[in-house]
Amino acid sequence: MNTGDRVAERLRGFGPLGVLALVVILTGNLLFVPLSALLVLGWAWRSGTPWNELGFVRPASWTRTIAVGLALGVALKLVMKAIVMPLLGAPPTNAAYHHLVGNTAALPLMLYLVIAGAGFGEETLFRGYLFERLGKLFRSGVWAKVMIVFLTAAFFGVVHYPDQGVAGVEQATIVGLVFGTIFAITGRIWMLMVAHAAFDLTAVAIIYWDLERAVAQLFFS
């Protein structure tokens, strides 16, 4: 076995090099978004991990994949905002992003964060990479997949605490459970990338047009 093969094998494992790669990837977004996802792609290339193990499987129909993703993302956001979050006692407006109301100047950055950071970045990291890593750690089986779905959803929720508080954790955890379950069943990530971006774009639209309170109180005044 040559040196390159040994490095690839160690990157795929859970020894010092594999753990270091994991830590570097998980903390990459602290520098800029979506560095973690870009590091995942670099890790996959250098470790020789097949792209399909991260969910990058070419869909039978791109049109259907995009359409389903858009529908899922928009519908999930509206259900979360109008039904789920009010039932959990969340405030009708998201204070962390209230500055977006009518703020056209802030839209380019938000669109970048939604598409590159959330749609591509978070799905690559939380569904693609972490499912692959935890799948290697826990092996196969229904209960292993259930555990992975819950662990990744919980982690996905926690990382939303600094800027969105408890309500953000609750929403992100539920979304993580939904997206994680779909990924565990299908093993495909493209539709989830579209759905995630659509979810966040819907959130931005609701805030920008100052409709948060109206949607949140649609069923519960």
187-202 pLDDT per residue, tens: 999 999 999 999 999 9
Residue 7 CB contacts under 8 Å (≥ 6 apart), including other chains:
17, 46
* Residue 62 to residue 170: CA distance in whole angstroms: 31
Report the amino acid identity of residue 176.
G
What is the pLDDT at residue 175? 98
Residues in the chain: 221
What is the pLDDT at residue 174? 98
- Is there a cis peptide before residue 34, judged by omega within 30 degrees of 0? yes
Chain Cα centroid distance, residue 27: 15
Question: What is the pTM for the complete model shown?
Answer: 0.95
What is the pLDDT at residue 109? 95
Q: Taken in order 170, 80, 54, 45, is the CA torsion positive or negative?
A: negative
* Residue 53 to residue 40: CA distance in whole angstroms: 12
Cα separation values, 11 from 14, 22, 96, 196, Å? 8, 9, 38, 28
List the structure tokens of 110: 């938000």
* Residue 125 to residue 162: CA distance in whole angstroms: 19
Domain ranges of the chain: 1-49, 53-216
Cα separation values, 92 from 156, 161, 218, Å? 22, 17, 10
What is the pLDDT at residue 141? 87
What is the pLDDT at residue 140? 79
- The pLDDT tens digits for 25-51 are 999 999 999 999 999 999 999 999 999
pLDDT over 90 for what percent of the chain? 95
List the structure tokens of 100: 């977006």
Q: How confident is the model at residue 2 (pLDDT cuts 50, 70, 90)?
A: low
